[in-house]
Amino acid sequence: MTRWTPDPTFYPSPALAATAPAEKLAYVAAFDRAGQRPDAIAVLDTDPDSDSYGRVVGWTELPNTGDELHHFGWNACSSALCPTAPHPHVERRYLIVPGLRSSRIHVLDTKPDPRRPELVKVIGPEELGKRAGYSRPHTVHCGPDGIYVSALGGADGQEGPGGIAVLDHTTFEVR
């Protein structure tokens, strides 16, 4: 169902965000240094009142080896409340997880079960290169008009220059 009010995890100022309740789960990149197994997202319980506090309570393995997961982030955040480009219909629900070595970007849905994020889309290196002209996605930032993904390389996967690819908040298409 379409959301018409702002996500309750969005805050109109950093001061209000600082008063927000603590997160109860943390999403952490996990990888096999030998490259034999695919990278994964581990879910850790960060609620000190929980019986499973400090433990891994979920695990989502990605489909390929050699991704080298990097600085991932949410599809939306408080910047969606920007007065010049408001998007109250988006919610903080999808983790956007770049693979630095593979140039793949993974989209994981945390809403059905936050402890078991579900892989819903993979943006391949060909699409990122063709549509944005970049490779080696590095860091994700949510913005008022899309999801910004900084990239370190040019489309050929070799040397730069890199730049900023923009993904749609809803479809995750490379814009």
Asked if 167 and 175 touch (Cβ cutoff 8 Å), the reply is yes
CB neighbourhood size of 154 (10 A): 17
Has residue 9 been placed in a domain? no
**Interval 85-126: pLDDT, tens:** 556 667 889 999 999 999 999 999 999 999 999 999 999 999
Alpha-carbon gap, residue 55 to 5, rounded angstroms: 34
CB 45 within 8 A of CB 57: yes
Of the candidates 129, 117, 120, 119, the residue with the CA atom closest to the CA atom of residue 156: 129
Residue 57 lies in a domain: yes
> Structurally, how many domains does the chain consist of?
1
Answer yes or no: is 77 within a domain: yes
Residue 142 scores a pLDDT above 90 = no
Q: What percent of the chain has pLDDT over 70?
A: 88
Q: What is the mean pLDDT of residues 46-62?
A: 97
Residue 10 confidence (pLDDT) above 80: no
HSE-up (13 A, CA, CB side) for residue 98: 28
> In whole angstroms, what separates CA 21 from the centre of its chain?
21
Omega within 30 of 0 (cis) for the link into 14: no
pLDDT over 90 (residue 18): no
Question: Does residue 93 sit in helix, strand or coil?
Answer: coil
Kindly report each contact of residues 104-112 with a partner whose C-beta sits within 8 Å and lies 24 or more positions away, as own/partner.
Answer: 104/64, 104/67, 104/137, 105/137, 105/149, 105/167, 106/62, 106/67, 106/69, 107/75, 107/172, 108/41, 108/60, 110/27
State the residue range of the domain holding 79: 14-167
CA distance linking residue 108 with residue 96, whole number of Å: 7
Residue 160 covered by a domain: yes
